[in-house]
Amino acid sequence: MMSVTPTAAERIKQAIVAEGKPGLSLRVYVEGGGCSGLQYGLVFEDEEKDGDEVVSTEGIRILVDRFSAPYLTDTQIDYVTTLQGAGFKINNPNATGSCGCGHSFKA
């Protein structure tokens, strides 16, 4: 379903250590908003919820809810550094368009 680049995996693991809770999972979700209609969200959570898809990759547990799952099929989480700064980037082959900043998309 989803993949994580080695660079992103290392950054996620560092953030989990900084949170001080080694059992945290990364929730990746889609919600309405942004310039293009849909936007991504990333948060840490202690537990999965009913209906979550659970993906284990690169030593990280990723949780995806039922609504978000179809939008996130075959996506890749990366961590990039640009002139504008550094952060996580979602590479989504299902997106049919996105805004200039890359934080929102349409499907």
The separation between CA 15 and the C-alpha centre of its own chain, rounded to angstroms, equals 14
What pLDDT score was predicted for residue 53? 95
In the predicted structure, residue 56 carries a pLDDT above the cut 90: yes
In the predicted structure, residue 55 carries a pLDDT above the cut 90: yes
Rounded Cα distance, 75 and 32, in Å = 18
Q: Residue 34 CB: number of other CB atoms within 10 A?
A: 17
Nearest one of 71, 88, 86, 1 to 29, comparing CA atoms: 71
Rounded Cα distance, 34 and 106, in Å = 10
Work out the average pLDDT over 68-86: 90
pTM: 0.84
> So where are the chain's domains?
2-106
Class of domain 2-106: mainly beta
In the predicted structure, residue 37 carries a pLDDT above the cut 80: no
Confidence of residue 82 (pLDDT cuts 50, 70, 90): confident
Q: Is 99 helix (H, G, I), strand (E, B) or coil?
A: coil
